[in-house]
Structure 1
């Protein structure tokens, strides 16, 4: 059985006499089977390799050997065994990470020293070819041995392997279940389970069979629920469920068109055009203008899982865990690919490239690993990053090759404000009993858009809520006058942060693409007072962002 070439990679390390190989994986049994297969494969080794497995509960055992634990249960005894055994061998040490220091447990420095002594002795008396494999669910490397240990990433199961598990389940339970999926749909279901371990995939299929008395199209939802569980357990990524659509976003037509043209670009159909999967977009702009809403809507339109990365969880307090958290987050996003990885307010985690933060270089290392992944990633993981203060981001993150495009979301234009008001009135007022007789007219929308010059989408939404609260307090239905009064009582962000928004526009004017459509920008209207203020450096008419027609 092939494991995406992992068997050949492992065999080459063994043949090259690498002393220590670390395989971080939750799939202990599958990894062990791969090691057994390699050791017994005469294409790799003419005389084969003997495999011994050590654990703290049983000591050292050969394949298939049973019995009570023996005198080799102590970890030092396992190293002694490796040193004294006179044969070509592979010794697998299970869960050795606990001795390297994990959580609140300090490293066992005496044991680490013993491993280093073993390495020195094996080099001086290296008659036999021996490799020690550390097999653990998490990657923990002692600083003293980082140069000696080679990490071998063990891939998650392929669609074919998952399909095989599903077929076995169907065959085993053929008398009691009904399968309403053709072969194409079965393969699609197996692909939907990519990112799960074989055990997790088997659990998902078993659960679906119990709930549905078989397998049908509803099983896809069960698989997604299992993936949600996997993501939630990481504690780093959050699975965001969204039923929004791009129609729920007022304006930003340029950005919408760009996203729609790239839908399904990770599919087999895109291969006919030699199209690479898009890397991602960076969306910056005025707070409250729909950047986060766009990420949620894109997940629904592209029909891909949306994973939100919390930078605060990445930078945890345990030394060395931040780098591991980033590696785990990236691995999870790739495991459920194709997927969308959403990094909200990216500047809070990567401002200035992580330099001069007083954390011993942790931020810089995490930033460097993220940059490398963005540049070289092959898995179809689309990154959508949002930023309010993009000026603090390092230039190496903004250059081409990291993101496909940088979009600037400005204050809504007159036309966009009309659309935003219509969306919120229809969704929040007309859908409730207090607004069942509310009439939306073109005159009303134009009037509201005119008096709300400088308002962002979030402020318009709050205006609608304030109007509802006013009607609720007076125990009556909502009136257009309630919305007008709420607008009059609101001081927009464009006033309270006028200088900051002006600086942001100046930055984006030559460095980003406008998210707003060209025709909407032409329709932008301002009052005579705003025009006078613009001459004094106001922000209302200097529209930021290059205008490209996608």
Structure 2
């Protein structure tokens, strides 16, 4: 059922007091829809907000919203602050039926509102007025809709107000809205319209229509695939801006090692298939990646997105809390977006940092996330990266919360060999297509020198060595169009750069070992035992 249809049912049943949560960008669409419904059911529709200061009557004329004055309401002279809200007393006493939409009063009736004397007195007056409206307007045909972007209501009156929240539209609602708005060419087939609608999933209708206007500036709308791709790009930019996230289509990444974890990712992909649904099988509720910084946890999440072929939403959990009191609302809306997108990975980076202070906001956010993970029915896969497991509340790591815990450890010799080759291939063509210009003995020198280095540190070593070689071999005044000589990495350059850095696992040995030990106690290994030719067991100590 469409979200608006649920609201229509509540109006039809004449609930006297209804709290409505709808995003600001949907305000005009909602007002038009309510007014049209009232007109169709022979009800008067009115609007009041602090900006208008007066009640306005709403009608639909030529399919557009028409606003006109309402002579029966006279604002009260403002001798006291509660006089600003005289409309509440008026609606309680008004003798005619109808629907009154009231805006701008949620700040006075929300939970944990300011306790200053003047604000508190006005807040209590408004709450009492709303309770009286419900009491006096039973079975009178008078309905008050309290409209705002967030229906945050104080617990002392929450039971008195029925709440309706505007959900994100599903694909059928998007198709219906696009068809009614006439924004797509009439020659589009049902498949064409579905293609565009799928690209807009996770957005409200108003956002989709506005983004399609932007798309029209650069796209001719002849090919629905091109329109969908352009709309998807616009959607990604909007979501990134709204939620301070990074939305990534399935990336193309290479991961050195961690074979056991990658095999699990491939298994999870099969759980997205229709066949798995017939057996009531679903992707795990959550996966936790545990290990020291720089070991490749974020890179592993991208590899999971690649292996499963579904998009990735990256959220810095610590920074997410910077929204303050809005963090819970942002999280709730982000989870709704993820639910609508369904087959997607929601990755929370540095998950443990959000709980370092053990404050009330951290607990509320964790509770909201856990409740959603427990109750969700979509195919969203939650992945969280953690450095310090001891910072997490115990309820987060118990069975049934995060189904899989993987230890992402310091890379072994074989994995460091693979990581070196992946990064070296970016600069030295000799390493591409499986090439390897160095002897086993040369590799052993590098691997021994980089023992306890993580992937991020190996990347830094290779990049700095490539920069040093470039600066020493290519003349400064060379023209860009000239063919440059191939850049060749050397063992000596890599070893020199290694000498200039102090790996975290050596610099903070006690801390890193504590992280590894705690991960060992609860998490599964991400890598099998090193069976490469560089494994410790394959070294001839008498050679």
TM range (shorter): 0.7 to 0.9
Q: Deviations over 1:491-544 (max 9, x none)?
A: 3333223223332333233311111135659974179999xxxxxxxxxxxxxx
Q: Deviations over 1:323-381 (max 9, x none)?
A: 33332333343344433222111111134xx64x3xxx333222222221222122333
Which of 281, 297, 312 matches 1:291?
297
Which of 125, 135, 145 matches 2:147?
135
1:231 — aligned with what? Answer: 239
- Give the alignment of 1:12-411 within 5 angstroms: 12=10, 15=13, 17=15, 19-26=17-24, 27-32=26-31, 35=34, 50-55=44-49, 56-57=51-52, 59-64=55-60, 66-68=67-69, 71=73, 76-97=85-106, 109=120, 111-122=122-133, 125=136, 128-129=139-140, 130-141=142-153, 145-168=157-180, 173-174=185-186, 183-214=190-221, 215-234=223-242, 236-241=243-248, 244-246=251-253, 248-263=254-269, 265-266=271-272, 268=274, 270-316=276-322, 320-351=325-356, 355=358, 357=359, 361-411=360-410
In 1: Cα distance, 2:68 partner to 2:14 partner: 34
Q: CA deviation at 1:15?
A: 3.8
Q: Deviations over 1:365-401 (max 9, x none)?
A: 2222222122212233322111111122112111232
TM-score when normalising by structure 2: 0.80
Alpha-carbon distance change, 10 to 69 in structure 1, aligned in 2, over 3 angstroms: closer
In 2: Cα distance, 1:279 partner to 1:37 partner: 42
Which of 488, 496, 503 matches 1:485?
496
Q: CA deviation at 1:277?
A: 3.9
Aligned residues: 506
Contact 1:338 1:379 in 2 (8 A): yes
Contact 1:93 1:132 in 2 (8 A): yes
Alpha-carbon distance change, 310 to 141 in structure 1, aligned in 2, over 3 angstroms: farther
TM-score when normalising by structure 1: 0.79
Q: CA deviation at 1:253?
A: 0.9
2:464 — aligned with what? Answer: 466
Confirm whether residue 507 of structure 1 aligns to residue 508 of structure 2: no
Residue aligned with 1:90, SS: strand
2:425 — aligned with what? Answer: 426
Residue aligned with 1:63, SS: strand
Q: CA deviation at 1:252?
A: 0.7
Q: Structure 2: which 5+ residue stretches go unaligned?
A: 61-65, 77-83, 475-486
In 2: Cα distance, 1:244 partner to 1:449 partner: 29
Q: Structure 1: which 5+ residue stretches go unaligned?
A: 43-47, 531-550
Q: Which stretch shifts more, 458-467 or 295-304?
A: 295-304
Structural RMSD (CA): 3.9
Contact 1:25 1:135 in 2 (8 A): no
In 2: Cα distance, 1:267 partner to 1:53 partner: 48
Contact 2:413 2:530 in 1 (8 A): no
Q: CA deviation at 1:20?
A: 4.0
